Structure 1
């Protein structure tokens, strides 16, 4: 495959490849996934553009890099990602890239100390889908988002010292907006904290812990395969026994599959998007992302 051949290209030839290849994208700051780009753009706005490797709708657990992705990554002034338990497609392509140009968030001590253990906050019905010992959906934690913003700030000030005043102001604005957004969300979700629900993807632990939401558990099914009768019966029993108000799917799930699971119950079906697919990258995007998640919870739980 072309991607494998590109990875094996001697490092001495990479500068020439980057200059002459028609695949080169002149992005300077690159993130692995969109929610990290939301935070990055808030700090980098007015200084440099932010671009994302993972296309909308793709999974960070299974995505395969294209040649243009590799060139974009290698030409970036800074690459920001969550960690190898989340973006499993990343580690093998970082060889030969200056470590000062890489920010791996879960390797930071401040963030590492805040990591939740996977499934520690509620039970899971099936263990077919395992992300590792810790919950790496860290972008759904406002507290970790604040640390992430400060880490990105410190990196950008070193890379673009002549733009430090803009970067400083961007950080100050982001932290203020984030605090205000947290207060708005807490007020909005206050009346649904006792409403129990299930999810299909165990992604929301940080958000649920922060805002005291009542996640009863998670079901693991392949969104592209119709579940068997045994699985349907098992899920329906759990929904009834736990008096769930709602079950949340994600955009990749067919409504037909979920409707079959809730047939014969009084459970409503909602949708959560943990990657902000419909949100445009901007300096205010992260708070818009949190507010959209909030509204998606309310749409089903209220």
Structure 2
């Protein structure tokens, strides 16, 4: 009897080890950037965890995947990302995943008609002498359209519908919870849309400069009127000519506010605004101080709205 126990124990150990090796590293919805994590969390709440690939403080424009990131992607139930024109670090990794395990938001049916073209003035935002090469590289990377799609409440809604459909395929046993989550998200989004519209109404028509062109979808949706942006690529400092143009407009009081970002607080913004009556604010395009949870996306939109109004109103 004593002799039989050891082989039996060893057999179970081997089976357990084999099972752990065969299983993926973890199961979760993995979103490339935080705002997509917010949308996914609304749908996956109570069904499967949601994780965000991009660490807080990192830029989606120049991130490089680590080996641990690759493992997370390979072990994910579902991977959600914008597309190669936004996250240049994602295509190779996503190509290795089964097609049913990833969602590329920019390729969803119904999204194409909602896309906003990139700023036609982009090429003029850099000094020809020292920024031409870098600027053209970035414009090629960004392609024809502005890809900050998470800034659009309508694209966010369609993204949630797509995430719901994919998770339903993968986890049909969770249909009731997934259906309830989508219904709740759509209702909360509609309510926030009305509330934010009212909050922003008094500041419509007021001019301002944002640091980079991340906000076009939000601005168009809610009828805001930006005077312009400092740069297309936040990794590249605007050239002297561009700064002179902005400075002239500030002196002429064509804008009441200039916005920096938590990820990028370049001294050029302070330098250009110095000595003018323009106010300074901060817009957070990634919601870095918001925890990924069921109500995060609506919280993100509301926070952005408050960031706009507090500076534009002068509160």
Return the TM-score normalized by structure 1. Answer: 0.87
Kept in 2, the 8 Å contact 1:141–1:210? The answer is: yes
Kept in 2, the 8 Å contact 1:123–1:218? The answer is: no
Alpha carbon RMSD of aligned pairs, Å? 2.5
After TM superposition, give the deviation of residue 60 of structure 1 in Å.
1.3
Kept in 2, the 8 Å contact 1:125–1:217? The answer is: no
Task: Pick the structure with greater CA Rg.
Answer: 2
Aligned with 2:164: secondary structure? Answer: helix
Per-residue Cα deviation, 1:62-83 (whole angstroms, up to 9, x for no partner): 1011111000000111111000
Q: Distance in 2 between matches of 1:173 and 1:193?
A: 30
Q: Distance in 2 between matches of 1:18 and 1:274?
A: 42
Kept in 2, the 8 Å contact 1:124–1:217? The answer is: no
Counterpart in 1 of 2:130? Answer: none
Q: Distance in 1 between matches of 2:178 and 2:233?
A: 42
Counterpart in 2 of 1:66? Answer: 66
Counterpart in 1 of 2:220? Answer: 209
Alignment of 1:208-287 (within 5 A): 208-220=219-231, 231-241=242-252, 243-254=254-265, 256-287=267-298
Counterpart in 2 of 1:108? Answer: 108
1:294 aligned onto 2:312: no
Counterpart in 2 of 1:88? Answer: 88
Kept in 2, the 8 Å contact 1:196–1:243? The answer is: yes
Aligned with 1:214: secondary structure? Answer: coil
Kept in 2, the 8 Å contact 1:18–1:71? The answer is: no
1:199 aligned onto 2:210: yes
Query: Going by fraction, where is helix more abundant, 1 or 2?
Result: 2
Q: Distance in 2 between matches of 1:226 and 1:72?
A: 33
Per-residue Cα deviation, 1:105-131 (whole angstroms, up to 9, x for no partner): 1111211221111126x8785153532
Aligned with 2:245: secondary structure? Answer: helix
Counterpart in 1 of 2:7? Answer: none
Return the TM-score normalized by structure 2. Answer: 0.83
Count the aligned residue pairs.
284
Counterpart in 2 of 1:35? Answer: 35
Per-residue Cα deviation, 1:127-167 (whole angstroms, up to 9, x for no partner): 53532210111111011111111111111111111110000
After TM superposition, give the deviation of residue 239 of structure 1 in Å.
2.4
Aligned with 2:47: secondary structure? Answer: coil
After TM superposition, give the deviation of residue 257 of structure 1 in Å.
3.4
Moved more, 232-241 or 262-271: 232-241
Aligned with 1:110: secondary structure? Answer: coil
After TM superposition, give the deviation of residue 254 of structure 1 in Å.
3.0
Q: Distance in 2 between matches of 1:148 and 1:229?
A: 40
Change (3 A) 1:222 1:44: closer
Kept in 1, the 8 Å contact 2:230–2:242? The answer is: no
Counterpart in 2 of 1:56? Answer: 56
Change (3 A) 1:78 1:237: same
Could you tell me which runs of 5 or more consecutive residues in structure 2 were left unpaired when the two chains were aligned.
Answer: 1-16, 127-134
Counterpart in 2 of 1:132? Answer: 143
Q: Distance in 2 between matches of 1:17 and 1:216?
A: 61
Q: Distance in 1 between matches of 2:239 and 2:164?
A: 49
Change (3 A) 1:141 1:73: same
Aligned with 1:133: secondary structure? Answer: coil
Kept in 2, the 8 Å contact 1:178–1:287? The answer is: yes
Aligned with 2:111: secondary structure? Answer: helix
Kept in 1, the 8 Å contact 2:116–2:145? The answer is: yes
Q: Distance in 1 between matches of 2:88 and 2:110?
A: 22
Change (3 A) 1:179 1:62: same
